[in-house]
Amino acid sequence: MPTSVSPRQTSQTARAIVGCTVALAVWIGGCESTLPSERFNTAVHLPLPTQAFKLPSPDRLRATSGGDKMELTPLSLIRTAFDLQPDIKSSFHRYKSEEARYDFFYASRDSLTPRMRASNDFRENRIDETVTRSRDHTVELSLEKRFFDTTDLNLGVGYRTSEQENDIGNSPFVSANLRYPFQASREKLERTSEEIFRQNELSDAQLGYIQLVRRRLQQTLFRFYRVVDLLRRVQLFKDWVADLETLDQRVSIIHGRDTSSDRQRINSELTRVRADMRNVGGRRDVEITRLKADLGLPFFMNIDVRNEPFDPFVGKTHAELLIISIETDPEIATLRNSMKNAEVQLDLARRGTWDIALLLGGRSNLEGRGRDNTQSDWNISVGLDVSAVDPRVTGSLSRQAQANIARFQQAIAARENAIFADVFEPLKRIETLGQSRVDLLGNLPRFEDDYAIALAMYLEGSLNIDDLLRRRNDLFNQHQEISRLAFLVGANVSELCAATGMFFELIEKHSTNSDKTTEPADAGDNKS
């Protein structure tokens, strides 16, 4: 039962009450609670694309003479794709939309509302022939603060003018009301249930963003290495054509034997090699166009592809990468963050058997003028509101929280399993394919010497043209196999970056550096 006290007080006490009330109102008005999305992201550090809200320029659709040229290395390509790739930005905007929805849900139930109220109250009493008229004019400024845990606080300050039979009194007043829940109320449990749903929506959007970034960057880096491989192969075909043209010239000046059929055989080989070079060149142009589309670059921009050495996993063992990946993986961090929130919600549901709230209220009419001169009064009320919460409400919320905890636990285990397998396979391939490429590079001089010896033997007349061309073809195949292995190593590096979450670390660490060393001559500086 609420209790009430109304003694007369001095003006000093009244002023103290006013001062405390105004100070509390200013303090609450100046406090801005942390939005839930900021707490949600505390344990998950996500790099964000620059100029995330900038629309693609229409100029990227137009061909311009002497247009810009961009130099692409594996590291700069990762940052460029992250900043410009439309699918990544689309997923980012979806995530930010869910984040805003989550914040709206929270802020609408954790609001701060200033209010002004003006009222006029007219009364008339009749007793026999006696008529008494009175009127009150009140202006009040109030501040309502609602908290997400269903706490309600109302503070008000105002001025009241009362007139009765030409007897006028004026007095300021202050008021305050508070409802504070000691335990989880039914309303809070319902809010918590909805918060679980909103939080899961945000978590799914965040996970979708992380997964799409990982997938798109892997695809783009894979295509980069495909372009590098095709550029190498085109150059190998050019070298082959140059060797055949040089051979044809040298055969044409041989005297003392009939070389007409040999020249026909050389020209036939030239036609075949040029056709293959043209086909590979067409594939190169298509892949370059797709690479620019994957990067989100203007369609007609020229790019300079520089295949620098890129392997951020040098010297790392499977066990080391596994631990680092699990500790830094943003997907696991998101799932762990969501699981902790679900555990808090489960604890709240289990404690929500009783709904107990403290009720506080108070009002003080301060010293005024006229009829109210030297008069002031105040009253305070205290009470408790106790009710039982239906067990079905707490039970359903508890089951929901338990199911989410189990879901997040299994999702974390599934991601750890994926990292374990996805890290081992590409890491092993990088090791084996890289060593095979080194071995083939070491064996390459033998093929070069073999062709040089065969050429000398042919010019002397001790070797036929078919054997000579076969040995040049063997040299080409050896170069092509080395290029293929380099491509496969790069493809597995991109796969390992996705599996370990290394892309996010590289994005954070990336900085423009003009002093870079390119790969040895077998890759070369490839331009398009």
Taking every pair of C-alpha atoms in the chain, what is the biggest distance, in angstroms? Answer: 152
**C-alpha–C-alpha distance, residues 295 and 144, integer Å:** 50
- Look at residue 33 in the predicted model and tell me its pLDDT: 56
- Assess contact for 420 and 322: CB atoms under 8 A: yes
- Assess contact for 440 and 367: CB atoms under 8 A: no
- Assess contact for 330 and 44: CB atoms under 8 A: yes
Residue type for 302, please? N
pLDDT mean values, one per 10 residues, the chain (528 residues): 40 45 44 60 67 55 61 89 88 89 85 87 79 82 85 89 76 89 72 80 86 91 95 95 93 85 93 96 94 85 86 85 82 84 80 81 79 76 84 82 90 88 88 93 94 92 92 95 95 90 80 39 39
**Could you confirm whether domain 197-330+416-513 is CATH 1.10.3720.10?**
no
- Look at residue 11 in the predicted model and tell me its pLDDT: 45
**C-alpha–C-alpha distance, residues 154 and 177, integer Å:** 5
Both tokens of 68, joined, read 């810009």
Angle between helical axes of 391-460 and 330-351 (0-180°, round to 10) = 170
Question: What is the residue extent of each domain of the chain?
Answer: 1-34+112-146+151-183+356-388, 197-330+416-513
User: In sequence order, what are the residues at sequence separation of 6 or more whose Cβ sits closer than 8 angstroms to the Cβ of residue 369?
Assistant: 169, 170, 171
User: Which string of DSSP letters, residue by residue, matches 166-210?
Assistant: TEEEEEEEEEEEEEEESS--HHHHHHHHHHHHHHHHHHHHHHHHH
Both tokens of 70, joined, read 């961009």
- Assess contact for 424 and 495: CB atoms under 8 A: no
The total of other beta-carbon atoms located within 10 Å of residue 351's CB is: 12
pTM of the predicted model as reported, rounded to 2 decimal places? 0.74
Residue type for 24, please? L
- Assess contact for 157 and 141: CB atoms under 8 A: yes
- Look at residue 62 in the predicted model and tell me its pLDDT: 59
Backbone angles phi, psi at 142, to 5 degrees: -135, 165
**What Cα–Cα distance (Å) separates residue 167 from each residue in 133, 134, 171, 303?**
11, 9, 14, 90
- Using DSSP's 3-state secondary structure scheme, residue 513 falls into coil
Both tokens of 137, joined, read 């004019």
**C-alpha–C-alpha distance, residues 284 and 291, integer Å:** 10
Give strand pairing partners of 8.
Answer: 377
- Look at residue 513 in the predicted model and tell me its pLDDT: 41
Region label for 69, one of left (φ > 0), alpha (ψ between -120 and 50) or beta (otherwise): beta
